[in-house]
Amino acid sequence: RSVDEERRIKYKAAIKIQSWFRGCRVRAYLRYLNERVIFIQKCWRGYQSRRYFRKMVETAYFIMKMNFYNEMAVRIQKRWRGYYVRKYIHNYYALKKYLEAISVNNEIVRNELREYVEMKENEEKRKDLEKKEKEKEYQARKMHYLLSTEQIAGIYNSPFRKSPDPMELLLRKSKPLSHKRQQVKSSFSSELYDWPTCKRPPTFSTVQPLPPIDRQKPQGPFRDTAEVLQQRYKPLEPTLRVAASINSPLKARDEMKMEEWRNRIHDNEFLPFSSYHKNEKYDPSIHRSGKYVQETYGTKHFREVQPKKWIADKVSHCIF
């Protein structure tokens, strides 16, 4: 039995040794594999990272370039915007010139307005003066009897004065008013003011003006003046012959001719002798001038077909 045990022990030891050796071999093999794999992965990772790095460098370079360009563009835009704003939007010198121009214009306008005002004032004064003059003249005409004579000095021509009063001179110049001047000279403006408020009753035109006193009745068997006037101023009622112009029959004939020409279908005269027309050729209408045949018309005949160019004999379905 100890031999068995020894054999077993040796067997087990041999197994241990073999297993350990195999293990070593396998481990070495695995180590070897690991190293190779690590090598491969190393190379691959290095390659990837280099690629990535290259990309990063490219982008960084690109960004740098873009920043540079942006900076330059900003400088250009800065200059341009400043120029543009200063020239067109907030043009200082133009604004200054504009304001000066406004001041000058204002001065001109003020001067013109002032002149206008002065002109109007002068006109008003002139109108007042004229009115006063007219009043004075009217008064002088009314009071012409106050004129001084050789014997009796008038009130305006006192002997103690060196020269007569201006009123006296006016009196000398004025013509006495006549009796017939009875119409009330109301001024234009006051008449208009009265109308709208109906303060004055409207003058009804029923009252005829009285005839003048000193007119003598006409002698003799004269006709009534109204009748005479009526006859004299009777409106003219000419007869038709007088009212129509000289060429009116000719014009009327022309008109009739035009109307008939309009209404006619053709201009050929009607000639009664039929044998006269026998030699004339007859122009047929469109219907009769062609053959009685079916024309090549319709969708079948419109399209041009070239069977030699066809790819397939039948087109069975749409391609798209």
Partner 1 sequence: NSGVMSLLRPLLLDVVPTIQQTAALALGRLANYNDALAEAVVKGNILPHLVCSLSEQNRFYKKAAAFVLRAVAKHSPQLAQAIVQSGALEMLVICLEDFDPGVKEAASWALGYIARHNSELSQAVVDAGAVPLLVLCIQEPEIALKRIAASTLSDISKHSPELAQTVVDAGAIAHLAQMILNPDAKLKRQVLSALSQIAKHSVDLAELVVEAEIFPVVLTCLKDSDEYVKKNGATLIREIAKHTPELSQLIVNAGGVAAVIDYIGSCRGTVRLPGIMMLGYVAAHSENLSMAVIVSKGIPPLCACLVEEHEDHIKAAAVWALGQAGRHSPEHARAVAVANVLPMLLAMYMDTHSSDDLQLKASIFAKRALKNILEKCTYLPALEPLLHDAPPNIMKHIVGQFSKVLPHDSKARRLFVTTGGLKKVQEIKAEPGSLLQEYINTINNCYPEEIVR
Of 200, 189, 145, 193, give the one whose Cα is nearest residue 168.
145
Q: Is 95 in the site for partner 1 (CB under 8 A)?
A: yes
Rounded to a whole number of angstroms, the minimum distance from the CB of residue 101 to partner 1 is 9
| Choice between 114 and 142, CB closer to partner 1 | 114
Contacts of partner 1 in 246-265 (CB under 8 A)? none
CB of 192: closest distance to partner 1 in angstroms?
4
| Number of chain residues interacting with partner 1 (CB under 8 A) | 25
Q: Per CB under 8 A, does 243 bind partner 1? A: no
Q: Is 158 in the site for partner 1 (CB under 8 A)?
A: no
Task: Kindly tell me which of 101 and 250 has the beta carbon lying closer to partner 1.
Answer: 101
In the list 110, 125, 134, 173, the residue contacting partner 1 (rule: CB under 8 A) is 110
User: Can you tell me which of 19, 59, 105, 247 binds partner 1, judged by CB under 8 A?
Assistant: 105
**Alpha-carbon dihedral sign for residues 81, 86, 88, 90:** positive
* Site stretch for partner 1 (CB under 8 A), options 42-50, 51-59, 96-104, 164-172: 96-104
Q: Which residue has the tokens 């054999």?
A: 7
Q: Of 188 and 320, which has the nearer Cβ to partner 1?
A: 188
Q: Which is nearer to partner 1, 104 or 177 (CB)?
A: 104
98 binds partner 1 (CB under 8 A): yes
Site for partner 1 in 119-138 (CB under 8 A): 120, 124
Look up tokens 């020894």; give the residue: 6
Taking CB under 8 A as the criterion, the residue among 113, 129, 177, 243 binding partner 1 is: 113
Q: Which of 269, 267, 287 is nearest to 277 (CA)?
A: 269
Q: Which is nearer to partner 1, 35 or 124 (CB)?
A: 124
Cβ atoms of 170 and 140 closer than 8 Å: yes
Rounded least distance, CB 108 to partner 1, Å: 7
56, 108, 155, 229: residue in contact with partner 1 (rule CB under 8 A): 108
Token pair 């280099």 is at which residue?
A: 50
Residues 146 and 168: their CA atoms lie apart, in Å, by 8
Q: How far is the CB of 123 from partner 1 (least distance, A)?
A: 9
Tokens of 312: 């397939």
Buried b (16+ CB within 10 A) or exposed e, 13-36: eeeeeeeeeeeeeeeeeeeeeeee
The whole-angstrom separation of Cα 104 and Cα 140 is 54
* Binding track, positions 184-223, relative to partner 1; x by CB under 8 A: --------xx-xx-x--xx-x-------------------
Q: Is 295 helix (H, G, I), strand (E, B) or coil?
A: coil
3-state secondary structure 143-208: CHHHCCCCCCCCCCCCCCCCCCCHHHHHHHHCCCCCCCCCCCCCCHHHHHHHHHHCCCCCCCCCCC
Determine the Cα angle at 169 with ends 167 and 174, to 5°: 95
Q: Taking the complex as a whole, how short is the minimal distance between the CB of residue 103 and partner 1, in angstroms?
A: 6
Residues that bind partner 1 (CB under 8 A): 95, 98-99, 102-103, 105-110, 113-114, 116-117, 120, 124, 192-193, 195-196, 198, 201-202, 204
